[in-house]
Amino acid sequence: VARCLPSIEMLRLVSSGTEATMTALRLARAFTGRSLIVKCEGCYHGHSDSFLVKAGSGGATFGVPDSAGVPRELSALTVNVPYNDPAALERVLAECGGNVAAMIVEPVAGNMGVVPPAPGYLERLRELTRRHGALLIFDEVITGFRLGRGGAQERYGITPDLTCLGKIIGGGLPVGAVGGRREIMEMLSPLGPVYQAGTLSGNPLAVAAGLYMLDRLDKQPPYDYLESLAARLEAGLRSSLKDAGVEGCVNRVGSLMTLFFTAGPVTDFSSAQRADRGLFGRFFQAMLERGVFLAPSQFEAAFVSAAMSEADIDLALEAGQGALKEAAGL
């Protein structure tokens, strides 16, 4: 993993992506001696208390709990900003930057549907966090090894302080990891005072599967093939929307993709929420009846797999033409 992602000088294996982000948070607070965490509205970083927080409409707001059982006192330590809005982060840091431990972000948002970073957005996050002494944490649970061998950080040329990875490093088995700068990672026990442990952290079965998967990526990199399949699917979906006269847009980065039933553009959580969820639900059912199983939410990303063929993509597009018309009542 460290060979593929040069920003990772040391690595700690855990049991899931949620454990990875939770550990990264604890490390950031310990390393900086600060309490506040900044996240983006609509970005999901697992189900630990500090992340189950949603923002109000518009600009940066201090979070309120988004789940029962999360104390307001804890959620008040999480500040939300809109994705693709670096000015919002700048305002937060200007107001309370001395108490911000870290900004955590999906470099390509995948939990409000796929939303690419605007040109210069990630660069600005790196600049602002560095200027104010806060850490930049990339949650690459979705993008790591999927957008390329070096993840989104390689694709966009950004070096985060910490990186979180999930089950993809175990070939789909339950595993996660947090890694980053040596001086930060050395704060983890037993070298340092930040405690983390788990009986199944880095369990041998998941690690063996992950090592095999990483070796395959070295010997048979799938990324050009994935790009061609995903581009074929994207072009077909756009054509089907146009032919059916259905309002929609397609966001894609590499093999990640979302069809939003809104005119778009979809650039953040607010614009994603304008999508017609009812229409998506009908489209999902119509596709399922035609033998194509999509993620059952407008806000979940679709992933193209190297196990797929062009024939699979064409089959899905053929089903999509009829499903679109049926869902829209045409």
- How far apart CA 273 and CA 112 sit, in angstroms, is 8
Catalytic residue list contains 325: no
- The active-site residue out of 83, 121, 139, 161 is 139
Output the pLDDT for position 76.
85
Other C-beta atoms closer than 10 Å to the C-beta of 173 total 16
- The active-site residue out of 39, 85, 167, 276 is 167
- Residue ranges in 15-162 assigned as alpha helix (H): 17-32, 72-75, 86-96, 121-131, 151-156
Catalytic residue list contains 139: yes
Yes or no: say if 14 and 196 are a contact pair by the CB < 8 Å rule.
yes
DSSP type of residue 99: G
**Residue 305 burial by CB count (10 A; 0-12/13-18/19+): exposed, middle or buried?**
exposed
- How far apart CA 30 and CA 259 sit, in angstroms, is 40
Segment holding 139, helix H or strand E: strand 135-139
- How far apart CA 311 and CA 233 sit, in angstroms, is 11
Catalytic residue list contains 66: no
Please tell me the pTM assigned to this model: 0.94
| pLDDT, tens digit only, all 330 positions of the chain | 999 999 999 999 999 999 999 999 999 999 999 999 999 998 999 888 888 775 333 334 444 556 778 788 888 899 999 999 999 999 999 999 899 999 999 999 999 999 999 999 999 999 999 999 999 999 999 999 999 999 999 999 999 999 999 999 999 899 999 999 999 999 999 999 999 999 999 999 999 999 999 999 999 999 999 999 999 999 999 999 999 999 999 999 999 999 999 998 999 999 999 999 999 999 999 999 999 999 888 998 999 999 999 999 999 999 999 999 999 998
- How far apart CA 109 and CA 81 sit, in angstroms, is 13
Strands 78-81 and 61-62: antiparallel
- The active-site residue out of 39, 44, 85, 161 is 44
